[in-house]
Amino acid sequence: MSKPAHKIADINLAEAGRMVISLAENEMPGLLKIRAKYGANKPLDGARIAGCLHVTKETAVLVETLIILGAKVQWCSSNIFSTQDHVAAALVKCGIPIYAWKGETDEEFVWCMQQTLVFQDGQTLNMILDDGCNLAQLVYSKYPQYLSGIIGITEETSSGELILNRMFNAGELKTPCISVNTSVVKAKFENFYGCRESVIDGIRRATDVMLAGKVVVVSGFGDVGKGCASAFKMFGSRVIITEVDPINALQASMEGYEVTTLNEACKEGQVFVTATGGRQILTSNHFLNMREDAIVCNMGHFSHEIDCDWLNENATTDRIKAGVSRYTLSNGRHILLLGAGSPVNLACASGCPSFVMSNVFATQVLAQIELFNNKAKYSIGVHSLPKKRDEEVALSHLEKLGIKLTQLTIEQAKYLGIQQDGPYKPNHYRY
Ligand code: 9W4
């Protein structure tokens, strides 16, 4: 089968891409530590990784780390909008087969995934690094002949994990998998710190609005909601939380937030952020009760937390700029919808900071190493990374932050019934 060596928007952007990758490297100490620690042993020698994950500057540092550890990689993006074209160009310039560009059609998206399956020498993939189970589903549905050669799948998201578990329960799964999202460091960084750092960035880039003194309503007080609420609080906003879970509601109250229903809060809020993981959270009745030019956005994974369809069907729209739509309601008032309901930090800003992604991607690399090197240890099914590996990810970030870790004495370790060098907590421990 002959195929192009790569397909991207414009190779001339390579120099600009390399510059942002270099800056990202400095903010990704976990990946650099892994390069230093494992680079010589090449634990991924022989791995042929097909990767499907947003082609961003941070992913570039991930891809180049996998290569330094000995892997061959071919890569596509997991979202038609998310490719940073200059980054894709920089990777191609280094001979890495990238099939991704910003603004792919749905057909092109599938074509790009297909290009990652067979390597230039004719050998097929033996590892998958997936996001939302896109690539795994393609192989399972269209290329089952490749399945027996696949040693492992590492999956980035909770929605991908759900699909893998469904496949396992249906007896269809044929590969050991590691769900990276069950790792504590990955999840905390992406959901809490990542959102805390980027939600305001998204809203500010979209609207330039002052947040101090504003009433901000955050729906959902899980890790994402907690991160968002804390960012607004630090900015001087008055934050109201809505919750269905009494434990989260109580937590929110203990943090000093007012907790009430959206039916109440919709009249008061000036900025609304959904972060529930559910659907139909902000709907017509809420919109019609909101104050003039209320800002509405989502930080959850799916846009259906906001009833965007109702707005599109029942209000007239002015496009202020990319990612900012101003709706005129039947009552004459206006609503600003950001990012068409997509996560506002992604649609209107650059997503999580590189340091956050270093924690996420260091977890991915260790999951790839685990699966590729411990075939006997991982049965067909969906596994978590061992806690020692989770601790290794955290450890790899300490030096850069100037953190001095305390060492347990042998006696203290004995008293706690653990090893001196970890794992420090049982699997059920909640951080
Ligand atoms: N990005 C993205 C970019 C633009 C965009 C409809 C038009 C997720 C995680 C990481 O999804 C990502 N534009 C959109 S949706 C959308 C999404 N629309 C919506 O109307 C505009 C994405 C992981 N990540 C970081 O967070 C930082 N570095 C990373 O690799 C990246 C991108």
- Which of 342, 354, 360 to probe ligand 1 with, by most ligand atoms within 8 A of CB? 342
**Per-residue pLDDT tens over the stretch 366-394:** 999 999 999 999 999 999 999 999 999 99
Residue 347 near ligand 1, beta carbon < 6 Å: yes
Q: How far is the CA of 198 from the centre of ligand 1 (A)?
A: 12
**pLDDT under 50: residue ranges of the chain:** none
Q: How far is the CA of 362 from the centre of ligand 1 (A)?
A: 20
**Residue 422's pLDDT is what?**
97
Q: Classify residue 16 as left (phi > 0), alpha (psi -120 to 50) or beta.
A: alpha
**Residue 2's pLDDT is what?**
78
CA–CA–CA angle 102, 48, 155 (5° rounding) = 60
- Which of 52, 54, 193, 305 to probe ligand 1 with, by most ligand atoms within 8 A of CB? 54
**Residue 1's pLDDT is what?**
55
Nearest alpha carbon, ligand 1 atom 3:
82
Residue 54 near ligand 1, beta carbon < 6 Å: yes
Distance CA 257, CA 277 (A): 20
CA atoms within 13 A on the CB side of 253: 9
Q: How far is the CA of 310 from the centre of ligand 1 (A)?
A: 24
**Per-residue pLDDT tens over the stretch 336-376:** 999 999 999 999 999 999 999 999 999 999 999 999 999 99
Residue 352 near ligand 1, beta carbon < 6 Å: yes
Distance CA 114, CA 7 (A): 12
Residue 84 near ligand 1, beta carbon < 6 Å: no
**Residue 207's pLDDT is what?**
98
- Which of 56, 156, 157, 308 to probe ligand 1 with, by most ligand atoms within 8 A of CB? 56
Distance CA 314, CA 289 (A): 15
Q: How far is the CA of 377 from the centre of ligand 1 (A)?
A: 35
